[in-house]
Amino acid sequence: MSKSYRVAILGATGAVGTELLELLESRNFPIANLKLLASERSVGKTLKFKGENIPIEPVTEQAFENVDIVLASAGGGTSKTWAGVAVAKGAVVIDNSSAFRMHPEVPLIVPEVNPQAAASHKGIIANPNCTTILMTLAVWPLHKIKPVKRIVAATYQSASGAGAKAMEEVKTQTRDILQGKQPVAEVLPYPLAFNLFPHNSPLTDLGYCEEELKMVNETRKIFGSQEIRITATCVRVPVLRAHSEAINLEFETPFNPDEARAILSQAPGVKLVEDWQTNHFPMPIEASGQDEVLVGRIRQDISHHCGLELWLCGDQIRKGAALNAVQIAELLIEKNLLQSTTA
């Protein structure tokens, strides 16, 4: 007799929600029953899962009854309102918002990096920020060999990080500019087509935006090390899907680039993409729709004998959000950290 689980997707109609649905199907997740929850304006619509039309239900206390796993991707406010309700009714919530990431009693998990943290959950597990997930996948395998002292990250973040409406806005702006019209920005603060600007999350008193500080604080929590010095500059770029990151690493002792290349070529969730003859390295257009984070252009930092440079691209809707959440759910099943419905 196999075990199967009652799953609810909170925020089912969003970009991450629909990706969650596709991944649950393609990975043949053991589902006994599936609930799709979204805002009132989506109630009455349906989404297809394994050939069946599943109705969208409103978010209510009753909706979380008889649910084992809640995959939440509906924003921090929604998660703060409903996560506790779901846990009280017996579910484990895997939350994609920033609501619980830095809570001391909530594990923050990238399954390839710190799966052991799942055992300490008290009903809620946080999914890290997309840029953090992509970076930790590439840095952790190296950090295990030689501890990283300092990380300097520069991100090139696509429109999809701001949702499906931002992607459509960039398409519209591009058409308008090519037709000689003035581009209009409604979803993002400035036109992104043929443009770029520092990440639009709120600025803090430190002069860093929230997105940058997420990378700093979340990476330290995931790695279990507050000593790592981390700084980041996050930039929104006119790419539709998949984020890119330039990462500079400083170690205690020199890290041979060929050794780093060999380690990353075997690292889980990572795909080494390097063709030095043709200058072909990771690109967001090739990372889009892929499960793996593409890593390449690994080279010695000529400014520091203990420095290493690398470049990565990853689909932040997929591994940066939905896939990581589904992998956490699979981890909970593997480690027997869930109640189940026997099918």
Which residues are catalytically annotated?
130, 243
Binding site annotation covers 101? Answer: yes
SS3 330: helix
* CA dist., res. 140 & res. 136, Å (int): 5
* CA dist., res. 271 & res. 315, Å (int): 13
Binding site annotation covers 265? Answer: no
Say if residues 48 and 22 touch (Cβ distance below 8 Å). Answer: no
Binding site annotation covers 41? Answer: yes
Binding site annotation covers 225? Answer: no
**What is the separation, in whole angstroms, between the first and last Cα of the chain?**
7
Binding site annotation covers 16? Answer: yes
Beta carbons within 10 angstroms of residue 266's beta carbon: 9
Which residue carries 């010695």 as its tokens? 300
Say if residues 96 and 77 touch (Cβ distance below 8 Å). Answer: no
* CA dist., res. 71 & res. 171, Å (int): 30
Say if residues 244 and 155 touch (Cβ distance below 8 Å). Answer: yes
Binding site annotation covers 157? Answer: yes
* CA dist., res. 30 & res. 27, Å (int): 9
Binding site annotation covers 161? Answer: yes
* CA dist., res. 298 & res. 257, Å (int): 6
Structure tokens at 281: 């390295």
Q: What are phi and psi of 223, to 5 degrees?
A: -75, -15
Binding site annotation covers 277? Answer: no
Which residue carries 């006994």 as its tokens? 32
**DSSP state letter for 264:** H
Binding site annotation covers 11? Answer: no
Binding site annotation covers 290? Answer: no
Structure tokens at 125: 């597990």
- Residues of the binding site: 13-16, 41-42, 101, 157, 160-161, 210, 236, 316
- Residues of the binding site for phosphate: 101
- Residues of the binding site for substrate: 157, 210, 236
- Residues of the binding site for NADP(+): 13-16, 41-42, 160-161, 316
